[in-house]
Amino acid sequence: MTGGLFTFGETMGLVAADTIGPLAYAKGFSFGIGGAESNVAVGVARLGGESCWLGRVGPDATGTLIKGRLEAAGVRTIALADEAFTGLMVRHRRSGQFAHVDYHRSGSAGSRLTPADIPAHELREAGIVHVTGITPALSETCRSAVFQAVETAITAGVPVSIDINYRAKLWSRFDAAPVLRDLVALADIVFASPDEAALFVDADDLLGGLAKLGPAEVILKDGGHGCVAQINGERHTVPALPVTVVDPVGAGDAFVAGYLADRLAGATPGQCLTTAIATGAFAVTVPGDCEGAPDRAELIALTGGDLRR
């Protein structure tokens, strides 16, 4: 690929309760897929951009489903066959506001990713290489793959994007902080929630603290409060769009997809942020991780036509 998004990581099967309340009282379940990196790849593709996702999948129906779903969404998919099982997550919403996720991924195919799995030419030909803080938490080989990929992209002059995406169930704050800090110091574009940024920078100056580590584009995602950003030294603040929340899961990945899709298309920073806010808002109005990722026409409908590119 030339000029598009390249990303990699673990995508899992997703078992989700269809109703809100304790898991024991769920009346039915749906089965889909979910993974931060592939969610972003789907979001970029839906917005008209080129995207590629790479990851390991097992010799099972879940691995086949992941490949098929991503390809159907327009994502160029490099699904590497592995003898281990494809990971699973089980999610239910204890209330309308809080979601609970259990992971079944220790020793999974996705956790066995290695630096040798990622072709250097894919990194060199990409428009942006996007990674998350989830992949380095999965295993030592995954961590090595992330850092090697980032360094290869940097050497080739390809912008690197990272979404902190801290997962407390995967590693402690103590273990995560130095690794995430090192990744941010290498990146050109950084996405984080305020809590994630506070893992390793001063909470009194989150934007400035992240920017001092090196990235030119720092974006703080803050849910219903919108976002604030420091891009090439200029500060931006964009409020959230008022929408009815159906399912908050996947909003952060949709936000990232909106920003990166517009950046790949050559939009201004303000336009990238406006699209990011709109894609994040659209995501919470539909259930699922990436199934409801919007296209351009749907974003225009959501914003009443006020979406300037």
Whole-structure pTM value? 0.93
Residue 187 lies in a domain: yes
Residue 192 lies in a domain: yes
Q: Which residues pair with 128 in a beta bridge?
A: 5
Residue 244 lies in a domain: yes
What 3-state class would DSSP assign to 59? coil
Residue 96 lies in a domain: no
Q: How far is CA 19 from CA 24, 26, 93, 98, 169, in A?
A: 11, 6, 8, 13, 24
d(CA 17, CA 26): 6
- Which domain range does residue 249 map to? 37-88+106-303
Residue 101 lies in a domain: no
Question: How far is the first Cα of the chain from the last one, in angstroms, to the nearest whole number?
Answer: 24
- pLDDT value, residue 1: 41
- pLDDT value, residue 248: 67
Residue 22 lies in a domain: no
Residue 30 lies in a domain: no
Q: Which residues pair with 129 in a beta bridge?
A: 6, 160
Which domain CATH number covers 267? 3.40.1190.20
Domain count, the chain: 1
Provide the residue-wise pLDDT of the chain in tens; the chain has 309 residues.
Answer: 458 999 999 999 999 888 888 888 888 898 999 999 999 999 999 999 999 999 999 999 999 999 999 999 999 999 999 999 999 999 887 776 677 888 999 999 999 999 999 999 999 999 999 999 999 999 999 999 999 999 999 999 999 999 999 999 999 999 999 999 999 999 999 999 999 999 999 999 999 999 999 999 999 998 888 999 999 999 999 998 877 676 667 789 999 999 999 999 999 999 999 999 999 888 877 766 677 788 888 888 877 765 554
d(CA 281, CA 259): 13
- pLDDT value, residue 35: 95
Nearest by Cα to 44 from 16, 95, 5: 5
Nearest by Cα to 240 from 290, 283, 192: 283
Active site members? 253
Residue 211 lies in a domain: yes
